[in-house]
């Protein structure tokens, strides 16, 4: 049964055909790449605000919006994050990761050093809220991982649409982010995303995306 808090939905229409619009959007999004070499060229905070607002427009379980976006521009805090991340990554590359995992990373040319964490003008640390707190009382959130994953996808698309580059960085474990950013116990770090312009000499590996036949099954 619907509540009284409903309004009519106004459908969005466009001048071009559905086919043309869907093809052009795919071509645009297919140019999105994860980049590890950033410029330190500044980006206004007001622009980042719009990217975060776009991310927050994602659907979520029971509309609980179980996310917090910690936007880091402070050089001092970025330095602390880099030092902590590199400490964890060094351990990963020197014992924690399996040989198979390390072999799978070879095409990307990565190692434990993460200079982009201090070079990129902004870091967006996405936290998932396992539960909410209202007047000291726990309130359940639903489909938290799925909801925050969707919001992160919206964020990455918004970053690309603005002409910036990003990287989904996942140093493991991520607990140091909760400590450095002094986040409450109900928030858990989900992803660390540097945002900025690519460096003038930035390069990306040659990759092939799966074809439609390889990833879609129609019934």
pLDDT 10s digits, 61-120:
999 999 999 999 999 999 999 999 999 999 999 999 999 999 999 999 999 999 999 999
Instruction: Please choose, from the candidates 144, 182, 173, the residue with its C-alpha nearest in 3D space to the C-alpha of residue 67.
Output: 144
Domain boundaries, the chain: 35-199
CATH class of 35-199: alpha beta
Question: Residue 216 in contact with residue 156, Cβ under 8 Å?
Answer: no
Q: How far apart are CA 202 and CA 138, in angstroms?
A: 46
**Ranges of H-type helices in the chain:** 18-29, 45-55, 75-91, 99-105, 116-119, 144-161, 175-180, 212-215
Sorting pLDDT into bands at 50, 70 and 90, what band is 1?
low
Q: What is the arrangement of strands in the sheet containing 165-166, beginning at the earlier edge strand?
A: 67-72, 122-129, 187-196, 165-166
3-class secondary structure, 140: strand
Residue 2 in this model has a pLDDT that exceeds 90: no
Average pLDDT in the chain: 95
DSSP count for the chain of H helices, then E strands: 8, 6
């Amino acid at each position: 049964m619907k509540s009284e808090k409903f309004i009519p939905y106004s459908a969005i229409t466009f001048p071009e055909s559905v086919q043309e619009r869907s093809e052009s959007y795919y071509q645009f999004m297919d140019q999105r790449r994860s980049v590890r070499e950033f410029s330190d060229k500044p980006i206004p905070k007001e622009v980042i605000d719009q990217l975060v607002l776009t991310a927050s427009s994602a659907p979520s379980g029971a509309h609980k919006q179980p996310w917090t976006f910690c936007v880091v521009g402070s050089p001092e805090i970025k330095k602390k994050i880099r030092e902590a991340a590199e400490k964890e990554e060094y351990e990963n590359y020197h014992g924690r990761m399996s040989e198979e995992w390390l072999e799978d990373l070879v095409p990307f040319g990565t190692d434990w050093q993460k200079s982009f964490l201090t070079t990129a003008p902004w870091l967006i640390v996405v936290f998932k809220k396992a539960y909410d707190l209202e007047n000291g009382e726990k309130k359940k959130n639903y489909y938290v991982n799925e909801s925050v994953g969707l919001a992160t996808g919206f964020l990455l698309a918004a970053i690309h649409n603005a002409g910036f580059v990003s990287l989904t960085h996942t140093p493991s474990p991520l607990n140091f982010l909760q400590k450095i950013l002094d986040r409450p116990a109900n928030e858990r770090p989900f992803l660390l995303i540097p945002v900025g312009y690519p460096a003038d000499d930035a390069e990306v590996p040659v990759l092939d995306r799966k074809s439609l036949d390889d990833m879609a099954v129609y019934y």
